[in-house]
Amino acid sequence: MAKILVIDDDSSIAESLDLYLTEEGYTVYTAATGTDGLNAFVKHAPDLVILDIRLPDIDGFTVLEDLREEEENVKVVMITAYHDMDSTIKAMKGGAFDYIHKPINVEELDMAIRKALKTLEMEKKISGLLNEPSRSFKVGDIIGNNNEMKEIFKTIGVVSQSRTTVLIEGESGTGKELIAKVIHNNTAPDEPYIAVNCSAIVETLLESELFGHEKGSFTGAVVRKLGKFELARYGTVFLDEISEMSVNLQAKLLRVLQEMDFERVGGKDSIKVNARIITATNKDLKGMVKEGKFRDDLYYRLNIVSIRIPPLRRRREDIPALVEYLLTKINRELHKKVIGASEEMMDIFMKYRWPGNVRELENLLTRAVVVAKSQVLTRGDFPELGDDAVNGANGKKAEINIEPGKNMTLDEVEEQYIRRVIKDNNHRTKGELCDILGISRPTFERKLEKYGITIEKD
């Protein structure tokens, strides 16, 4: 059974806890001062420490600090008669597992103890697994072992041997820029990599950002400015959200790709383009061409080599490796030492639909690492993932009813399924419906028009 050390100068509380915890089957040690408590901790190596903040020789915060120097992952439940916010914050910031006020509620204490010991057990289990030979990750790795990702790796290897234009397609959060950086690093690592988000800059400024401008070419142009194509030299210009570029700029970009030169805004000198151009979009660019919202000639210029990144829900087998990689990255950035997620949490990860893809996974893990009380992430560290996540969907799944003996075309099946999804999830927005159906917004709009379906909610 687990060993518990109680450090409290109040003899009545120490005796009561000793009696109660012994009856519960724990091995209990007690100490009335901080110094004696630290000596007892070194001598008995308890699994859990119940620590009072107010002690006669040194305060509990100092004892907590010393305990963590002795054993970094020690589980400490602090108790105090003072209900002030600062003490609570200081205790949790110092690494306490939990914080309980006097008079002690036995049920609250019992819950804290069980949770702390369960966490300790999971940490030991995961730590044992991590002692086995494992992968060595480095910043900028692309994690993926499913067939689609393997094909992407092959394509990256091929395009890295040339300087051809690449179009990267995929949902938001799938890692399009990461792919672009890997291509750049395998082609011209010593040259500049310059990223431009076409949706974040207004059209008038975007032209100047890309091509630069001459002094006096417009109001506010007090000096000559070099554009991204010029600054990139023999490196890479990554144009993210290319679908948001105006038709006017699309024409100018097409000329750059055709002639491989340009003039600064207000300038006359022709400047040669030496950089590779990589573009990315989370939209159905081919569909936009059909709708007349994107130039077909530019699309074919950009789409010389296309890389389509699958959403995370289509490569669930990569999730464990992604969690391991992202935790390594997050620990490095936040100076934390979270070693993994519980089996329950990994099961939830594997069932969740991940509408925000890898970016959503990274954001959730980052938040969880910040607030985590232990080295193992548990369900309580992810309040954002509710019952929908446990059930493995963001919306209610629809069923298609086909009468026995009746043959249906694929269009009829698709229409029936789309109508049923909309009916069963009528409280959701179009964006959420797209996530449930696993299609892009433009594709969804085209199918609504095709089947004559009207939706009021946007």
Q: What is the pLDDT of residues 319-342, one digit of tens each?
A: 999 999 999 999 989 988 888 898
Rounded to whole angstroms, the Cα distance separating 372 from 195 reads 34
Q: What angle do CA 311, 316, 322 make, to 5 degrees?
A: 90
The terminus-to-terminus CA distance of the chain in angstroms comes to 57
Q: What is the DSSP string of 336-380?
A: ----EE-HHHHHHHHH---TTHHHHHHHHHHHHHHH-SSSEE-GG
- Predicted confidence (pLDDT) per residue in 399-419, tens digit: 566 555 567 788 888 888 888
Choose which CATH entry (3.40.640.10, 3.30.70.2740, 3.10.580.10, 3.40.50.300) describes domain 147-308: 3.40.50.300
Rounded to whole angstroms, the Cα distance separating 453 from 422 reads 10
Assess contact for 338 and 344: CB atoms under 8 A. Answer: no
- Say which DSSP state 317 is in: G
Q: CATH 3.40.50.300 occupies which residues in the chain?
A: 147-308
- Specify which residues 51 forms β-bridges with: 7, 78
Assess contact for 430 and 441: CB atoms under 8 A. Answer: yes
Q: Which are the contacts of 335, defined by CB distance < 8 A and separation ≥ 6? A: none
3-state secondary structure of 278: strand
| CATH fold group of domain 312-390 | Helicase, Ruva Protein; domain 3 (1.10.8)
Rounded to whole angstroms, the Cα distance separating 57 from 440 reads 65
Residue type, 172: S
Rounded to whole angstroms, the Cα distance separating 261 from 277 reads 13
Q: CATH 3.40.50.2300 occupies which residues in the chain?
A: 3-130
In this prediction, residue 140 carries a pLDDT of 59
Q: CATH 1.10.8.60 occupies which residues in the chain?
A: 312-390
Report pTM: 0.67
Choose which CATH entry (3.40.50.1100, 3.40.190.10, 3.40.50.2300, 3.10.20.90) describes domain 3-130: 3.40.50.2300
What is the full per-residue pLDDT of the chain (458 aa) written as tens digits?
789 999 999 999 999 999 999 999 999 999 999 999 999 999 999 999 999 999 999 999 999 999 989 888 889 999 988 777 778 878 888 888 888 888 888 889 998 998 888 888 877 776 554 444 445 555 557 888 888 888 899 899 889 888 899 999 999 999 999 999 999 999 999 999 999 999 888 887 898 889 988 887 777 777 888 989 999 999 999 999 999 999 989 999 999 999 999 988 888 888 999 999 999 999 999 999 999 999 999 999 999 999 999 999 989 999 999 999 999 999 989 988 888 898 889 999 998 989 899 999 999 999 999 988 888 898 888 888 865 555 544 445 555 665 555 677 888 888 888 888 888 777 777 877 877 787 777 788 888 888 888 886 55
- Specify which residues 28 forms β-bridges with: 4
Rounded to whole angstroms, the Cα distance separating 186 from 176 reads 16
